[in-house]
Structure 1
């Protein structure tokens, strides 16, 4: 069965894409498949950047049957793979020497430039590169992606591979966070040559559930910046609404039900709720550890502001969101998940005070309510420490939920 037919049968390609890919990959057809039915031009994958996201992405490629070689500057991250018998390399250049495709997942534009163009970088041997395709899934500025793509296209291949006379690059940042990376349900936003995108689609769908072609080089990076801009502003809006609602006497769980069945429904309310105790399995349920660090959100918002400035666009909400996350980072919450804005930005408003209003993760009960009201609210949970610490003082219960 032809490559395109196999991919179409698996739901990877549409009928139109299948037809295009048959002609695109005709030079590959006589070479056949590996025993795992992976196209030969995608078989050897080098993965660089084994952090919270990259670790799971690389692991899913291994599960899918790809021959993976990995690199990271963190020895402990490398050891997790070497202990499983996965080849590790000390430099990006060494990874490139044994790979058909390179995937990078790095924290910033400067890290990407260093891995690609630095000493012992991926492009160190410009005159004879082994990889025919470079995929960068980092969240960086579109201009850096475009410059890298141009530089890569000027290099030479050690061996011509199908339609690629020169190596190619795709910018393919992802959405979904660590849970989606682990589950293999990421969404890829891809910019670059469409033929390369179609050829690489099996790789993307080994790590994710959806791929979206965004157009020419840099457009994937641009789409990711826009996505994260909207995500940050949404998280701030949802957090602010929860704080207001609690101070008006509405529990967070009640507001969540309202949001998720009304026009306020969004990812920040139904999948990544920022209020501790409302949703399990999200950073707010584990002291905002793990997830997407506030420092990375601040970085992405800075990228958005820079891109907006280059075209003379005013983005007041983006500017305010960036300032808030920069403030969180300055206060020492840089490594906490970005949903911690609910607790730490609004902490002055959430601290319960004797004689005023008592706050907890389930909502707010005015101090004048009698004991029967507290029993209805969940006094037994207070005694077991499931909501917060109760203090009986002058007939008032003061709760510090944090």
Structure 2
């Protein structure tokens, strides 16, 4: 489970970073992303209380200066703001609406910020229940991956009431460099799913292209130089190339370790497909990309970065 961020604000003072102080900032969900996000809040001078089912992750944050809570509901008791970073629809529902969940003990006007990547309809469901409890909810998924989470340069895509967005900006700016307002609750998730669907499709296309080029006898570096200065240029080719050795600091040059996991890409593509089915929007390439990444998982690549599709297309298992 990932950590949710709760914080209480003292409007009368500011900290050394020039921001309004918050007491009992909470974070639930200390996974690969959430752990870095929580650390950045500590670095920016926020007092932090954390919760995660992974005791090792909690102890690591406590050692860095955070306090721990027994469960997410305990954090909510004293929170003015809550931020969650969780793996899936069900984790979010359990964390907010389950026994000992946030909404079981949340105070009126508490701001709830969910940075998980989930179905927009789940965000909208939680928002309605939060409203019944007198709390305020924003969906705020992120883009940028583990490196950006560590560096504090994430992009946040935020959906919810505009005044709540403005209130949340200081805490989000402590974890990211770009904060984008997308519209009503669920629209942050919509933006994230559309972006990740395109990313999955473009990575498969990039991998196919470089595999074909190699089989035709082209030097992959020469092909990369041509593509990255031509009409085929894209993020997957220029900044996250799936061919080992093209770029030094990407997962493909490190045995496809780290980065954005194949299982997470498959999850996001599945969410996009479910949303497309509900909206009756045709996504033939998105659906095919989903099946390709599910096939990678079935072939034992679930723990590798999603750019490992290049090795899969080469015929390596």
Normalising by structure 1, we get a TM-score of: 0.74
Matched residue, 2:48: 68
Matched residue, 1:184: 152
Matched residue, 1:290: 258
Q: 2:15 aligned to 17, 21, 35, which one?
A: 35
Asked whether the equivalents of residues 42 and 48 of structure 2 are also in contact (C-alpha less than 8 Å), the reply is yes
Tell me by how many angstroms 1:260 deviates: 1.4
- Whole-angstrom CA distance in 2 between matches of 1:315 and 1:232: 13
- Whole-angstrom CA distance in 1 between matches of 2:281 and 2:180: 26
Q: 2:189 aligned to 199, 204, 221, which one?
A: 221
**Structure 2, unpaired ranges of 5+:** 1-8
SS of alignment partner, residue 242 of structure 2? coil
Is 1:133 the counterpart of 2:111? The answer is: yes
Asked whether the equivalents of residues 251 and 258 of structure 2 are also in contact (C-alpha less than 8 Å), the reply is yes
Is 1:86 the counterpart of 2:66? The answer is: yes
Normalising by structure 2, we get a TM-score of: 0.93
Larger Rg: 1
Indicate the structure with greater strand content.
Answer: 2
- Larger RCO (CA within 8 A; separation ≥ 6): 2
Matched residue, 2:3: none
- Whole-angstrom CA distance in 2 between matches of 1:70 and 1:216: 28
Deviations 1:77-103 (A, max 9, x none): 111112223101121011112322111
Asked whether the equivalents of residues 97 and 130 of structure 1 are also in contact (C-alpha less than 8 Å), the reply is no
Tell me by how many angstroms 1:43 deviates: 4.5
For 1:190-209, list aligned pairs within 5 A.
Answer: 190-209=158-177
SS of alignment partner, residue 291 of structure 1? coil
For 1:102-117, list aligned pairs within 5 A.
Answer: 102-117=82-97
- Whole-angstrom CA distance in 2 between matches of 1:285 and 1:131: 47
- Whole-angstrom CA distance in 1 between matches of 2:192 and 2:15: 36
**Structure 1, unpaired ranges of 5+:** 1-27, 156-165, 352-401
Tell me by how many angstroms 1:34 deviates: 3.6
Asked whether the equivalents of residues 228 and 300 of structure 1 are also in contact (C-alpha less than 8 Å), the reply is yes
- Whole-angstrom CA distance in 1 between matches of 2:279 and 2:173: 34
Tell me by how many angstroms 1:187 deviates: 0.7
Asked whether the equivalents of residues 99 and 131 of structure 1 are also in contact (C-alpha less than 8 Å), the reply is no
Question: Structure 1 stretch 136-145 or stretch 111-120: which is displaced more?
Answer: 111-120
Report how many residues are paired.
308
Deviations 1:157-193 (A, max 9, x none): xxxxxxxxx3201100011111111111111110000
Tell me by how many angstroms 1:130 deviates: 6.4
